Amino acid sequence: MDIKTCKYREEMLDLREKLLSAEANRLNGAKTYTIEEVSERLQMIIARGFNGFSRIFFGR
């Protein structure tokens, strides 16, 4: 297996692990967000500038 193929395979395995973890969290009742909620929050961040990021998402 060449380097490029090996790197691609590792990236896909990492992505699979992240997706499985996210699905497990969702099934265990973790808070999820709709596309509309995420879009609204991102628009607020852009409108306020990046410094508002912590306040919007973490209440800081």
pLDDT tens by residue, 27-44 = 999 998 999 999 999 888
pLDDT tens by residue, 1-11 = 799 999 999 99
Phi-psi region of 17 (alpha: psi -120 to 50; beta: other; left: phi over 0): alpha
DSSP 8-state code for residue 50: G
Confidence label for 47 from pLDDT (cuts 50, 70 and 90):
confident
Classify the C-alpha dihedral 18-24-27-31 as positive or negative. negative
* Rounded Cα gap, residues 31 and 59, in angstroms: 16
* Rounded Cα gap, residues 22 and 16, in angstroms: 10
Check: pTM over 0.75? Answer yes or no: no
